[in-house]
């Protein structure tokens, strides 16, 4: 059963790597550990330009009548895979950008070091044993994250408005599988085998199929979260 949305609505995050980097770095992802980058296209040549290894992919797409009908129809067939991957529901309006980032970081805590005692360090330790709905409630009542999100939402290049028709989802690799993580869905969706070396290309294939269903829209954006290496520093 779908979680009931709360009356609480945040301003949406802009699909802007600089905004997301400052947001994540301020909450406990050390700047030398990971960084967000724009993905300028989904063909192999442009994917190769993205710094590797890619640990997670955020995808912004337009919400349409067709996409919403498909989501509702497909949710009934989604298996409960929440024990295999860090996943949380979304009950706060326009929180999809923050939840996408939490999905990303929550599934790479073994790949990057969070600052000890930081917000994210405490958040994931506090929610580790919670189910997806309990994590949603925890976030909904978390004033510190609400303030941090608000600061990030007003730091973008465009004027923030809570009237949006786009949505963020996250693609992450866990236990050798590519997962699509969307807090508005019934649960995580597995898209088959993947690894950190193929995550970006694997996610790009799924993203291309979504884009093909909305050929007239330009409201798409792909952002990769890459692990920092000596070459990137």
Residue in the block written with tokens 């724009």: 38
Annotation marks residue 96 as catalytic: yes
Catalytic residue among 36, 103, 149, 167: 167
Helix (H) or strand (E) holding 171: strand 166-174
Non-local (6+) Cβ contacts of 2 within 8 A are 75, 186
Residue 53: is the preceding peptide bond cis (ω within 30°)? yes
Q: Which of 96, 103, 149, 170 is catalytic?
A: 96
DSSP secondary structure, 20-32, as one string? HHHHHHHHTB-TT
Looking up tokens 């919400």, which residue turns up? Answer: 63
Query: What tokens appear for 27 in the block?
Result: 């909450």
Q: Where are the alpha helices (DSSP H) in the chain?
A: 17-27, 44-47, 65-75, 96-106, 119-127, 132-140, 143-153, 199-212
Catalytic residue annotation: 96, 167
């Amino acid at each position: 059963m779908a979680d009931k949305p709360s009356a609480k609505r945040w301003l949406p995050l802009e699909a802007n790597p600089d905004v997301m980097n400052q947001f994540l770095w301020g909450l406990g992802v050390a700047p030398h550990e990971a960084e967000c980058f724009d993905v300028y296209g989904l063909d192999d040549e442009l994917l190769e330009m993205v710094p590797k290894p890619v640990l997670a992919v955020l995808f912004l797409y337009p919400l349409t009548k067709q996409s919403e009908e498909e989501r509702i129809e497909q949710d009934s067939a989604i298996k409960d895979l929440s024990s295999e991957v860090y996943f949380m529901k979304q009950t706060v309006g326009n929180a999809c950008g923050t939840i996408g980032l939490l999905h990303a970081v929550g599934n790479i805590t073994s790949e990057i070091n969070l600052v000890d005692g930081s917000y994210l360090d405490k958040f994931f330790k506090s929610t580790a044993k919670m189910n997806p709905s309990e994590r949603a409630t925890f976030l909904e009542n978390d004033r510190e994250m609400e303030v941090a999100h608000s600061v990030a939402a007003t730091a973008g290049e465009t004027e923030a408005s809570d009237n949006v028709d786009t949505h963020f989802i996250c693609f992450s690799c866990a236990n050798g599988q590519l997962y699509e993580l969307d807090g508005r869905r019934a649960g995580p969706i597995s898209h088959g085998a993947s690894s950190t070396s193929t995550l970006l290309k694997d996610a790009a294939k799924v993203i291309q199929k979504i884009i093909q269903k909305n050929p007239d829209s330009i409201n798409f954006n792909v952002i990769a979260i890459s692990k920092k290496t000596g070459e990137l520093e």
